Chains A and B, each alone.
Chain A
Amino acid sequence: MKYLHLVWAALTRRKVRTGFTLLSVVAAFLLFGLLDSVNGAFSQAGHSVRAAHRLITTSTTGLTFPLPLSLYSRIATVPGVEAVTHMNWFGGYYRDPKNFFSNFAVAANFFDLYSEFELPPRERRAFDITRTGAVVGAALAKQFHWKLGDQIPLKASIFPQKNGSSTWTFDLVGIYHDPKHRGQENQMFFHWQYFNQAAAFGNNEVGWYVEKIAHPGDSSRIAQAIDAFSANSDHETQTQTSSAFAADMVSQFANIGLIVRAIMGAVFFTLILLTGNTMAQAVRERIPELGILKTLGFSNRSVLSLVLAESVLLLVLGGLLGMALAAAAVSVIEAKYGANIPMLPVGATAWLRGLGLMALIGVAVGALPARRGMRLRIVDALAGR
């Protein structure tokens, strides 16, 4: 630590060069922070603590195949199941098909199971008593400038009403927040009862069931018990944990992990070469100075650690700045477009991983120049050879 000013002096010796090198480190770690956040949002979809207590029952044939309502009461009898709810994909859009967002017809107890969707008690009561009531996420409400009491007309892309109209009008009675996953605040929920009575077809059918279970350890036993109800029928079910369900869904969009790893590989390879070159230059220029340090009595080892410290400091400075920028960018993007772009806030693990990478790259690029500095013979060094 006492040599910090020495390391600092070495870094500020050529301010322009250090500045440009820092800029590339900042760019690399800005990208790391952003991509890690996107990757995290995809890979952690459905991995919350509450989700561990949830199972999802869908048709084996595919998610678009409905299940009979009669399963509802039977699933509730399975020991270990604390509560059951159900959801239907509605597929409505607001004004323009481009304004796509998820909207579901849900059972009355939906918000009991999804308690991470925080809804003020007053709005919850309003939802319970309003047949045409709807609850939307805060991000969605903001996007369309909706406020409580508004009437929201949705165009149905699948289900027209019995009266022939394809426009469904809902009364906005609640706005929910999900502070941990802002990306979840882009959905709309309304009463399945209303949907069931008014839809021209698809009546008494349920998209999928969601079960709340007491102990996650019981999930495979409970899943088997639920699937046994419809075995060999024409609506066989598949029950899985909500994280397994989410993993299936995500893997169908793209192999996000692979894309992110490929980009980061290219970025860090370039970065290592770039900073490595800077460090080599820096040491080459300072050979006489290093010779003087050695003449003054600095050991080989302390010269080695001085150079290493310099490269690690360079990486950590740029890296922290880059990640801070990424964190700021993510929070801005989340606030503005949170509804459409899945991103996870840059959290503790991302910072730790980033710090680890900074140290690793710092040591890697510093190693060769540092070894050169360590092996210098004083006579050669002072002569500038």
Chain B
Amino acid sequence: MRKALFVLGASIAAALLILLGVLLPWWLMGAAVAAFAIWLGATRAGRRTGSIAAAGMATLPQRLGGASVVVVGIAGVVGVLVALLAMGQGFQSTLHATGSDDTAIVLRAGSLTEVNSGLDENSVTLIGNEPQVMRDASGRPIASPELLVAVSLTKKSTGLAANAALRGVGPEVWALRRHVKIIAGRRFRTGMRELIVGKSAAREFLQVSIGSTVTLNGQPWKVVGEFASGDAHDSELWADTNVVATTFHRGSSVSSVTVRLKSPKQFDAFKAALASDPQLKVEAHTTRAYYADQAKGLTKLIRILGSIVAAIMGVGAVAGALNSMYAAVSARTREIATLRAIGFRGAPVVASVMIETMVLALAGGVLGAGVAWLLFDNYTASTMGANFSEVVFQFRVTPGLLGSGLRWALVIGFLGGLFPALRAARMPVTEGLREL
């Protein structure tokens, strides 16, 4: 009965501490670790604990099997978690980088994506003439009427058909997206059936390298240049809006108009101006909001899936760590009983076992996060974006992700070490001394 109560109490305490471990901000955690280190170095009890922990660690080489179970088990959890989250992070940062606060995209009211949207010629002119839109040196509004079509190309990696986004852009696009640079070849010429290809698309698809001709909707297009934008546009092909419209029989309608605003503060006025114009049935979004919205669904899905997979693996790793640490404690039974017999209290014994487990867990976390970082940082992947076409992105193993990986490692280590440590401290001294 007393034992059951003790286990119950310990479990509740463990749950609370884990909750703290998950919720605690970084600086508080760091402060706690620092306080612990000071206690270890500066107080008598701390130094005693340190020496017991050191004695325990000295026997690690004899228990390599058990120690590696803790390390590898935790490394597996952290590695899988970090890799999966890096996928979501990469997709998210690619789309977030695509948008900005000083450009706005205008779609037909009710449309959520460009492929679903359509605007007529009159709307395009009206949108460009709004006073909040910035003008270039010659007084033309910096607004790009764009026509997005998903065209079918063959993927290099699989040989299967996949959709690429062909974006017809207006002549002002270079003033609109100033970060886009031609890295090879030249810009397409207005009115010609020429296109330039984003650097990710050039890598991903067959037949779209510079100099080649690709047939889209039955018409030959010459690839004359390659551009880099460092965001989702890298996965697109760009050409003249009017040429795209003619080739794909779209008349004079376009999918969207993207404008550069005089300043980010002008957006609300711009949106209101469009909404109040009875001739227009459109809706404006800052490009930041528009692209961030497209990232939401997938990022959330990956985060949930990653946590579920890691939690299930975590249960396995906790069980493995418990086994190893129980074995470690029972291998040191006599030693611990001796310590107790000569007057050491329970706390230093508990602390020493916990220190050992946490060190192993940290090693596992670093190993797992490191492997994930080596294998997957900048790993290129692609998925179907909101516009029914491929978005290429790179996995991003950020410091934040490494941090949350280590947090998981410490929580697993804590769980795996606590119960064996308590057992060590509660061991009856006389029995322990008799143990072989």
Contact = CB atoms under 8 A, between A and B. Distances in A.
Contacts of B218: 61, 232-234, 236
Nearest to A275: B320
Contact of B162 (A35, A166, A252, A262): A252
Given A158-B116, A166-B110, A27 B316 contact: yes
Contacts of A277: 65-66, 68-69, 320, 323-324
A236 B217 CA distance: 8
A27 B253 CA distance: 55
Interface stretch (A129-137, A264-272, A346-354): A264-272
B313 A31 contact: yes
Nearest to B436: A384
B6 interface: no
Contacts of B323: 17, 20-21, 274, 277-278
Given A156-B110, A236-B218, A252-B390, A64 B384 contact: no
B381 interface: yes
B217 A269 contact: no
A144 to B, nearest CB: 19
Contacts of B115: 64
Interface stretch (B29-37, B147-155, B183-191, B404-412): B147-155
Contacts of B76: 266-267, 269-270
Contacts, number: 151
B212 interface: no
From A24, A156, A160, residue with most partner B Cβ within 10 Å: A24
A143 interface: no
Contact of B112 (A157, A160, A259, A271): A157
B312 A281 contact: no
A28 interface: yes
Interface residues of B, number: 54
A3 interface: no
B160 A253 contact: no
Contacts of A30: 312
B122 interface: no
A259 B376 CA distance: 12
B89 interface: no
A232 B218 CA distance: 7
A155 interface: yes
Contacts of A16: 326
Nearest to B368: A266
Interface string B161-199: 111000000000000000000000000000000000000
Interface of B: 65-66, 68-69, 72-73, 75-76, 79-80, 83-84, 109-113, 115-116, 118, 149-152, 155, 158, 160-163, 216-218, 248-249, 309, 312-313, 315-317, 319-320, 322-324, 326-327, 381-384, 388, 390
Nearest 6 CB-CB pairs, A to B?
A27-B316, A24-B316, A270-B76, A23-B319, A20-B319, A274-B320
26 contacts: A21-B320, A23-B319, A25-B316, A27-B313, A27-B316, A62-B149, A62-B152, A62-B163, A158-B111, A166-B109, A166-B110, A201-B118, A248-B160, A252-B382, A253-B383, A253-B384, A263-B84, A266-B79, A267-B76, A267-B313, A270-B72, A270-B317, A270-B320, A274-B72, A277-B65, A277-B323
Given A20-B322, A21-B323, A27-B315, 17 more contacts: A20-B319, A24-B315, A27-B316, A28-B313, A31-B309, A34-B312, A61-B217, A62-B150, A65-B217, A91-B116, A238-B152, A251-B155, A270-B76, A274-B323, A277-B320, A277-B323, A280-B65
Interface of A: 16-17, 20-21, 23-28, 30-31, 34-35, 60-65, 91, 97, 155-158, 160, 166, 201, 232-234, 236, 238, 247-248, 251-255, 259, 262-263, 266-267, 269-271, 273-274, 277-278, 280-281
